[in-house]
Structure 1
Amino acid sequence: MSTKAVEIAPESPDANPVQKIQQEDTETPLEGLASICFMLVVYLFATAFIFQNFEIPSASMEKTLLIGDHPLVDRVILAPPSKWAFFMPNRDIHRGDVIVFFKPNPETPDLILVKRAIGIPGDRIHLRNGIVYLNGVAQNEPQASKPADDGDPQHAFNPYRDDFPSIAPSTDYGATESWSVEEPSHIQGDDLVVPPGKIFAMGDNRTESLDGRFWGFVPRENILGRPLFIYWSFKTPADQINKTSLGERIGFMAHVLIHIFDQTRWNRTLHIVR
C-alpha cells in the first residue's frame, strides 16, 4: 500500500495571523476623521438638546451659586413635552426649582439668567422685610439673604425691594419701564398674582439680585433648564463681568491658566445644585 506524500508549502510572511490582525486594526486617516466627526456630532447634540455648560458671572444666587461656578444644565427635564420625544422625562416647574432662562426683556433678549422659581401660575406673593409670603404663608428659606444693618448700603432695607410689591412708581427703584406699567395689573390686595404661563423668579442673594421684582415674570417658553451640579468652580473677581474688552478677556484667560490649580474651588466639584 503506497502512501501519497503531501507537500506543505511554507507560510509566506503575509500569512502571519498576528500581522494580519495588526493590519486590520490599523485605522486609516479617513476612518479617524469619521470617528472625530461622529464624536463631534454626539457632543453638539448633547450640548444643544440635553446638557449645556454655563458660567455664573454675578453674585445674585449666592450662596447657592458662586461667581465662577460652572454648572452643567439639564435641558430635558423642564422642556415642554413633544410628540417626537414622548419617551423623554419631562415635568413642569416646581416652586423652589433653580432655573436657567432667557431674560424677559426686549433690550437684552439673548441674556441668560439663573434664578429660583418662587411662584407658579395662580400663586399670590408678597415680601415683608425681605421674607417671602407665598399664598399667605411665610416661607422658610435658609439659602436666601435678608436685609441687614451691617453698614453696607446695598444690604440696608429697601422699601421697594424688601416690601415688594408695596411701593410705586417702581422706576424710582430700578425697575424697567415696561414692568412699571404692567405690574399694577397683577396686584390684588397686598399680593402679586402670577398669571398663566408665567413664573415669578428671584435670586437667593435677595439684596443684590435684579430679578422678577424689577423686570417681571418669566414666560414658560423662556426657560432652558435647571442646573444639576458644579463641574468646575474658579475664584473669579466680582467685577469680571464688567471687563468686556478683548485685552481684559485675554488677560483673565491667562490668569486662569496660571492659577488653574491654586484658585480652583476643588470642594465645589460635583456639588449638587439645590
Structure 2
Amino acid sequence: MPYVSFQKDVKYRGKLHTLPEVKKSITQEWADAIIFAVVAATLIRWLIMEAYTIPTPSMENSLLVGDFLFVSKFHYGTRTTTTPLQVPLTHQKIWFTDLPSYVEWIKLPQYRLPGITHVKRNDVVVFNVPPRELNEYKDYPVDLKTNYIKRCVAIPGDTLRIIDRQVYINGKAEENPPLMQYSYLVVANNDISERILKKYKIYDYEIVGRPGDGVVYQMFLTEELAQELKKLNFVREVKIATHNGSEGFSTRTEKTVEPNIFPDSKTFPWNGDFFGPLVIPAKGMTIPINEKTLATYGSTIKLYDHNDDVKLDSGKLVIDGKEVTEYTFKQNYYFMMGDNRHNSLDSRYWGFVPEDHIVGKAFFIWLSIDRNADFIHKIRWSRFFRIIE
C-alpha cells in the first residue's frame, strides 16, 4: 500500500465535521520508522543495556576474545552525558572515520541516575579508562573515554595488598576467580603441534627461546591447565614466570621493581605480584598532605577529583591558589584488575577508577566467536547467554 490514511471526526458548533485525510508516502513511513528505531535504540543503550565486545585477552579465561556481551546500565545507574550534541549510537568517532562524533558547543554537568545496587568486590565492570595516554592522548569527555572491562578487586576505603600474586583486602585473602590466568614458561622437547595447542585451547602464546634441543614457550594458563601440561611426556617443565625487562623471563619477588608501577616506583618499589599496601580513596575520606600522600594520591586529586586549579610542588598541595594541609576526597574510587593477571594493563599500572568513570556491570554473553577456529566451529555455542560472574 503506497499510502496510509488517517481520518478523524470532530464536533464544531453542534455539527460533526470530518477532517481531511493525511496521507504518508512510503518514504515518510520509512523515515518515521528509522527515527523511532534510532530514538528507541539510543534510549535503551543509554538507560538500560549496551552491547560490547572483548577485543583483548586481559580477562581470559573468564571472558574470551570474541565474546559479545551486554552491559547493564541500570545496576549502578546510568550517567547523563556531558556532550548532548553527538551523532546517535556512536562513541568517540563517527563510524569508519577519524571524525569526532561529538562537539563541545554545549557542555553539561554529569549526573548519575539512581541504580539498583553499587559496585561490589568481584563485580566485572565496564568503565572509561582514566589516563590520557590510554585515550590516544586526547582529552575526551569522561563518558567518551575508551571503554575497559576488568574485575573490581577493591572498593572505596579498602586497604589492598598483593603478596606473591594473592590479593588481600583489609588483611584477608580474597577468593580468586576460578578461571584466573598467569604467565608460564613451558619447556618442551620440540615444537608443540597446532593440534595439541587447539586441543587445550591455547592461543595466547609465543616461542621465547630454543636452548639446545628444546623449545621454550611463554603461555598464559590457568593453574589447572598448567598442571595438565606438566603431565604430557614431551613437556619438560612448566613454571610461573613473567617478563621482567632486560632481565628476561623470571619470577617476580618482593625486590623486583616495575618502573611503570602505580603510583610511583621511586617511592613505592612494587610490582604486579607484590603490591601495596594501598588505601583506596572514598568520598569524604580525609588525608594529611605530605610527600608520601601526594606521591600516592596527588595525580588523582589533580586530574579526577573535580578541582579546577591544582598545583603539586615539593610536598605541597595548592588548590585555587591556597595551600592546603589536608584533603577530603569528593568521590569514590575503585581498583580494577584483569583475570589474566600477567597480561592485563590495569589499576596496578595506571591507578584508581573514579566513580564518575563507571559505565556499568557486565551482565551476560549473547554471542561468542572463536577467531582461531575453522568455519564450522567458529561460534562457541556453549557460551551463549552465560551470566558473567
User: Would you call these one fold, judging by a TM-score over 0.5?
Assistant: yes
Residues 127, 148 of structure 1: alpha-carbon distance in 2 compared, 3 angstrom cutoff: farther
Question: CA deviation digits over 1:181-236, x for unaligned, max 9?
Answer: 6974xxxx951211121101101111211211111111111111111111111113
Task: For 2:168 and 2:367, locate their aligned partners in 1 and report how far apart those are by CA, in whole Å.
Answer: 35
Q: Which residue of 2 aligns with 1:267?
A: 382
Task: For 2:116 and 2:377, locate their aligned partners in 1 and report how far apart those are by CA, in whole Å.
Answer: 40
Task: For 1:148 and 1:162, locate their aligned partners in 2 and report how far apart those are by CA, in whole Å.
Answer: 10
Q: Which residue of 2 aligns with 1:211?
A: 346
Q: Which protein shows a greater Rg? A: 1
Q: Which residue of 2 aligns with 1:195?
A: 281
Structure with the greater relative contact order (CA < 8 A, sep ≥ 6): 1 or 2? 1
Helix, strand or coil at the partner of 1:114 = strand
Task: For 1:116 and 1:193, locate their aligned partners in 2 and report how far apart those are by CA, in whole Å.
Answer: 18
Task: For 1:81 and 1:162, locate their aligned partners in 2 and report how far apart those are by CA, in whole Å.
Answer: 42
Task: For 1:85 and 1:121, locate their aligned partners in 2 and report how far apart those are by CA, in whole Å.
Answer: 18
Question: CA deviation digits over 1:84-118, x for unaligned, max 9?
Answer: 986x5332210111000111211123321110000
- For 2:264, which of 154, 161, 180 is the aligned residue? 180
Residues 193, 269 of structure 1: alpha-carbon distance in 2 compared, 3 angstrom cutoff: same
Normalising by structure 1, report the TM-score. Answer: 0.68
Q: Which residue of 2 aligns with 1:51?
A: 49
Q: Which residue of 2 aligns with 1:139?
A: 174
Task: For 1:183 and 1:37, locate their aligned partners in 2 and report how far apart those are by CA, in whole Å.
Answer: 56
Shift of 1:158: 4.7
Maintained 8 Å contact 1:103/1:218: yes
Task: For 1:137 and 1:66, locate their aligned partners in 2 and report how far apart those are by CA, in whole Å.
Answer: 29
Task: For 1:118 and 1:140, locate their aligned partners in 2 and report how far apart those are by CA, in whole Å.
Answer: 10
Maintained 8 Å contact 2:184/2:218: no
Task: For 2:251 and 2:75, locate their aligned partners in 1 and report how far apart those are by CA, in whole Å.
Answer: 32
Shift of 1:75: 1.6
Q: Which residue of 2 aligns with 1:67?
A: 65
Shift of 1:27: 7.3
Task: For 1:271 and 1:130, locate their aligned partners in 2 and report how far apart those are by CA, in whole Å.
Answer: 28
Maintained 8 Å contact 1:81/1:90: no
Unaligned stretches of 5+ residues in structure 1: 1-21, 238-255
Question: CA deviation digits over 1:109-165, x for unaligned, max 9?
Answer: 33211100000111111122211111111122123235656444466345999879x
Unaligned stretches of 5+ residues in structure 2: 7-22, 81-110, 136-144, 188-216, 221-239, 245-249, 269-274, 283-331
Task: For 2:41 and 2:276, locate their aligned partners in 1 and report how far apart those are by CA, in whole Å.
Answer: 49
1:100 matched to 2:126? The reply is: yes
Residues 42, 167 of structure 1: alpha-carbon distance in 2 compared, 3 angstrom cutoff: farther
Normalising by structure 2, report the TM-score. Answer: 0.50
Residues 205, 32 of structure 1: alpha-carbon distance in 2 compared, 3 angstrom cutoff: same
Letter in 1 for 2:149: V
Task: For 2:266 and 2:336, locate their aligned partners in 1 and report how far apart those are by CA, in whole Å.
Answer: 16
Maintained 8 Å contact 1:203/1:209: yes
Q: Which residue of 2 aligns with 1:221?
A: 356
- For 2:165, which of 127, 130, 141 is the aligned residue? 130
Task: For 1:190 and 1:127, locate their aligned partners in 2 and report how far apart those are by CA, in whole Å.
Answer: 6
Helix, strand or coil at the partner of 1:54 = strand
Maintained 8 Å contact 1:100/1:115: yes
Aligned identity (percent) is: 27
Maintained 8 Å contact 1:100/1:223: yes
Letter in 1 for 2:337: M
Helix, strand or coil at the partner of 2:76 = coil
1:42 matched to 2:40? The reply is: yes
Maintained 8 Å contact 1:53/1:71: yes
Q: Please report the RMSD computed on the Cα atoms of aligned residues, expressed in angstroms.
A: 3.7
Task: For 1:170 and 1:85, locate their aligned partners in 2 and report how far apart those are by CA, in whole Å.
Answer: 36
- For 1:170, which of 240, 258, 272 is the aligned residue? 258
Letter in 2 for 1:136: G
